Amino acid sequence: MPDELPILQFVDRPGITDLGWGHPRPELLPVRQWHEATRAALDTYDWRAMTYGHSAGPGPLVEWLATRMGEVDGAPGDPAEFFVTAGASHALELIAKVLAEPGDVVLVDAPTYHFALQIFRDHGMELVSAPQDAIGIDVEALDELVRVLRGRGKRVAFLYLVPTFGNPTGQSLSASRRDGLTRFASIANVTVVEDDTYRELGYDGAPPQSLWTSAPGGPIVRVGSFSKTVAPGLRLGFVQAGPHVVAKLAGLGYVTSGGGLNHLVALTMAAFARSGAYQAHVERIRAAYRAQRDALVGALRAELPDFAVPAPPGGWFLWLRLPAGMTAKTLLAAAEPLGVSFAEGTDFHIDPNTGDDHIRLSYSLLPPAELADAAALLARAVRSLA
Q: How far is the CB of 151 from its own copies (least distance, A)?
A: 26
Q: Which residue's CB is nearer to its own copies, number 14 or number 254?
A: 254
In single-letter form, the type of residue at position 71 comes to: E
Does 280 bind its own copies (CB under 8 A)? Our answer is: no
Does 260 bind its own copies (CB under 8 A)? Our answer is: yes
Q: How does DSSP classify residue 126? A: E
Please state whether beta strands 358-362 and 317-321 pair in parallel, antiparallel, or not at all (unpaired): antiparallel
Among 259, 323, 337, 352, binds its own copies (CB under 8 A): 259
Burial class (CB in 10 A: 0-12, 13-18, 19+), 252: middle
Beta bridge partners of 84: 238
Q: Which residue's CB is nearer to its own copies, number 3 or number 306?
A: 3
Enumerate residues 197-236 that contact its own copies by CB under 8 A.
Answer: 227, 231-235
Q: Which residue's CB is nearer to its own copies, number 264 or number 381?
A: 264
Q: Which residue's CB is nearer to its own copies, number 32 or number 152?
A: 32
Contact 304, 310 (CB under 8 A): no
Beta bridge partners of 137: 132
Query: Which among 190, 199, 115 is positioned nearest to 165, based on CA atoms?
Result: 199
Contact 163, 172 (CB under 8 A): yes
**In the sheet where 343-344 sits, what is the strand order?**
317-321, 358-362, 343-344
Among 48, 177, 301, 380, binds its own copies (CB under 8 A): 48
Does 252 bind its own copies (CB under 8 A)? Our answer is: yes
Q: How does DSSP classify residue 39? A: H
Which among 83-91, 104-112, 209-217, 278-286 is the span making contact with its own copies, rule CB under 8 A? 83-91
- 59-78 footprint of its own copies as x/- string (CB under 8 A): xx-xx---------------
Which among 109-117, 182-190, 351-359, 370-378 is the span making contact with its own copies, rule CB under 8 A? 109-117
Contact 60, 267 (CB under 8 A): yes
Does 30 bind its own copies (CB under 8 A)? Our answer is: yes
| Cα separation, 313 vs 316, whole angstroms | 10
Which among 87-95, 313-321, 326-334, 351-359 is the span making contact with its own copies, rule CB under 8 A? 87-95
Among 174, 176, 256, 384, binds its own copies (CB under 8 A): 256
Angle between helix 59-72 and helix 263-274 axes, rounded to 10 deg: 50
Query: Which among 7, 3, 11, 35 is positioned nearest to 365, based on CA atoms?
Result: 11
Q: How far is the CB of 266 from its own copies (least distance, A)?
A: 9
Which among 27-35, 171-179, 353-361, 375-383 is the span making contact with its own copies, rule CB under 8 A? 27-35
What element of type H or E holds 223?
Answer: strand 220-225
Which among 24-32, 133-141, 213-221, 275-283 is the span making contact with its own copies, rule CB under 8 A? 24-32
Q: How far is the CB of 325 from its own copies (least distance, A)?
A: 33
